[in-house]
Structure 1
Amino acid sequence: MKIITVTPENVQDETLFCIKDITNPGFDAKKAWFKKRYAEGLRMKILKDTNDKMIGFIEFVPASNAWRPINADDFIFIHCMYVYSKKDRNQGYGSILIKEAEKEAKKRKMAGVCVMSSKGSWMADKTIFEKNGYKEIARRGRFELLSKKWIDEAADPQLYDWTLQKRKYQGWHLLYADQCPWHEKSVAALLDVAMDHGIDLKVKKITNAQEAKQAPSGFGVFSLLHNGKLLEDHYLSATRFKNILQKELQLIS
């Protein structure tokens, strides 16, 4: 096994793991986002086998620059972690990737590492982190906040209350960021559906970490809302959006 550190210089060759097709518009969007965030301390590591096959990846950043609704300034925060193939799971590869985030935190003389987990979509389950000594310290909705620290006197990370932000969004709103490379495709599909149904969907791209911390959802980088109600907190297909519209419009009528 070997760990590859993705950098602005090698990103085109190493790709971004979660999106490997460099001709996909989402790749360019994520690459541009990655290059800006790299200067803010964001790091992406890819785990490969001896045949240069990609096994998994992890993306982490100093929590002050995390694109999630958390307050944990003396910690590294794990944005994403994924082992692609089911046959490669439960082999210790996730633990190898977690250790990379911990090495970075110790190198920067930080208090520890934290992560948001969920049994739902697009986030790792907390089990892998608990196996590595992480403890759940907060919970809101389907999301858990876990932390591992080696400086006992350091304040624990905290979740911002994103539910307080929802009331700001009256009408139909979609907020998204390029932290996930699949958002561009989803946003285009949702705009087409909204137009077909005569829905005025207001779309806003989140452009910095502080905006993401104040987002109206736990995932932070994708929020679909209608009249102050959060309808979805991760990217979705046109079909899923049509089902949501049908339900919401029936409720209104």
Structure 2
Amino acid sequence: MNTKITNVTPDNVLNETLFCIKDIKKPEFKAKQKWFEKRYEEGLQLKILKDETDKMLGYIEYIPAVDAWRPVNAPTFMFIHCMYIYSKKDRNLGLGSKLINEAEKDAKEKNMDGLCVMTSKGSWMADKRIFKRLDFDEVDKRGRFELCSKTWNPEAAPPKLFDWTAQQKKYKGWHLLYADQCPWHEKSVEAMLNTAMDFEIDLNITKIETAQEAQQAPSGFGVFSLLHDGELLEDHYLSATRFRNILKAQIS
């Protein structure tokens, strides 16, 4: 398959879209666009893989790890936020490897020590198997999340995960923390707030505005955390139905 990689920038984002959300009129797109443009100045890259007809096949989003929106401590590494190949029929053609190699090339050009990524078999993150095939090593693990790293500087300190469980106990009552790093969060927050009102629940909502806040968030995903009295209930996007079921279980 002949492919090409397009760099998304603040100048072409309305034409290229953000891949995981393509409708530029949706408020979720506008929220992610605003977030993207600020992060672009910090070195964030969003690249879309296309075929010869300009059909979008997949994308990757990465940033210097010092500004990563995940609980990772790897100041001399590049960090992959997200990587996705859309169609299942395209997932064994080496397309993901092309995107990862693009991030590795950028990291080396910036004289970084390596490339790292958080993986999980759960929702909203890539599985570690593709990274293991590309010579990444698992260097840390907490709960369902693994931290995988490919290092070309043997003297570099290995990346580590922050202990997000240490942050959880301070959240008394119902709390939802989220960031616009994922465009689906805006829709989720609105639905969850309406559901909380139906149950007469006081849901405290905090929008994460900086990478440093995300790195100290109370969940492994970093940019989405639902907590009740110091207990993490979910760490990724929730529908209103799923939240309603959580509330029913907690109240009963």
Map of 1:99 onto structure 2: 101
1:143-177 deviations in Å (ceiling 9; x for gaps):
00000010000000000000000001000000000
Code of the residue aligned with 1:169 in structure 2: it is Y
Code of the residue aligned with 1:89 in structure 2: it is R
Map of 1:114 onto structure 2: 116
Map of 2:52 onto structure 1: 50
1:190 partnered with 2:154: no
1:156 alignment partner, SS class: coil
1:224 partnered with 2:226: yes
Q: Pick the aligned partner of 1:180 from 182, 207, 223.
A: 182
Map of 2:15 onto structure 1: 13
Deviation, 1:97, is 0.2
2:214 alignment partner, SS class: helix
Deviation, 1:104, is 0.8
1:41 partnered with 2:24: no
For residues 218 and 5 of structure 2, what CA distance do their matches in structure 1 show?
35
Map of 2:139 onto structure 1: 137
For residues 129 and 23 of structure 2, what CA distance do their matches in structure 1 show?
31
Q: Pick the aligned partner of 2:75 from 58, 73, 76.
A: 73
1:204 alignment partner, SS class: strand
Deviation, 1:24, is 1.3
- Give unmatched runs, 5+ long, in structure 1: none
TM-score calculated relative to the size of structure 1? 0.98
Deviation, 1:35, is 0.1
Q: Pick the aligned partner of 2:241 from 239, 242, 245.
A: 239
Alignment root-mean-square deviation, CA: 0.4
For residues 90 and 20 of structure 2, what CA distance do their matches in structure 1 show?
16
For residues 24 and 119 of structure 1, what CA distance do their matches in structure 2 show?
30
Map of 2:217 onto structure 1: 215
1:189 alignment partner, SS class: helix
For residues 179 and 157 of structure 1, what CA distance do their matches in structure 2 show?
21
TM-score calculated relative to the size of structure 2? 0.99
For residues 170 and 154 of structure 2, what CA distance do their matches in structure 1 show?
38
Q: Percent identity?
A: 68
Deviation, 1:23, is 1.3
Map of 2:150 onto structure 1: 148
Code of the residue aligned with 1:67 in structure 2: it is W
Map of 2:88 onto structure 1: 86
Code of the residue aligned with 2:77 in structure 1: it is F
Code of the residue aligned with 2:135 in structure 1: it is G
Deviation, 1:226, is 0.2
For residues 92 and 120 of structure 2, what CA distance do their matches in structure 1 show?
18
- Give unmatched runs, 5+ long, in structure 2: none
1:164 partnered with 2:166: yes
Code of the residue aligned with 2:142 in structure 1: it is R
2:59 alignment partner, SS class: strand
| Number of equivalenced pairs | 250
2:119 alignment partner, SS class: strand
Code of the residue aligned with 1:225 in structure 2: it is L
1:177-227 deviations in Å (ceiling 9; x for gaps):
000000000000000000010000000000000000000000000000000
Deviation, 1:249, is 1.0
Which ranges of 4 or more aligned residues in structure 1 deviate by more than 6 Å?
none
Deviation, 1:69, is 0.3
For residues 213 and 39 of structure 1, what CA distance do their matches in structure 2 show?
19
For residues 56 and 196 of structure 1, what CA distance do their matches in structure 2 show?
38
For residues 115 and 34 of structure 2, what CA distance do their matches in structure 1 show?
26
For residues 199 and 249 of structure 2, what CA distance do their matches in structure 1 show?
13
